[in-house]
């Protein structure tokens, strides 16, 4: 009886390992599809050309991002 239990536990362990490997492969596959290729990169250089940002604007942005945390 004990040897049967060990065999069943080993089967379960190997099945779990197989499922984990399949999950890792699936994650990698999804990440590859979601990651933009270098051809799709868009340059944002100069997007704020001519816009002036004041200290007040920076302070407002910090407050909205960090809330009650002191920065």
CA distance 64 to 58: 10
Rg (CA), the chain: 27
- Claim: this prediction has a pTM higher than 0.95: no
CA distance 38 to 56: 36
pLDDT per residue over 19-70, tens digit each?
999 999 999 998 888 876 667 677 777 888 888 889 999 888 888 888 766 6
Residue keyed to tokens 């362990």: 13
CA distance 3 to 12: 14
CA distance 40 to 62: 31
């Amino acid at each position: 009886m004990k040897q049967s239990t060990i065999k069943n536990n080993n089967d379960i362990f190997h099945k779990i390992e197989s499922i984990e490997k399949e999950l890792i492969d699936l994650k990698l596959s999804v990440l590859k599809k979601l990651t933009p290729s270098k051809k799709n990169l868009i340059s944002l250089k100069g997007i704020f050309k001519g816009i002036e940002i004041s200290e007040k604007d920076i302070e407002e942005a910090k407050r909205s991002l960090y809330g009650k945390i002191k920065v």
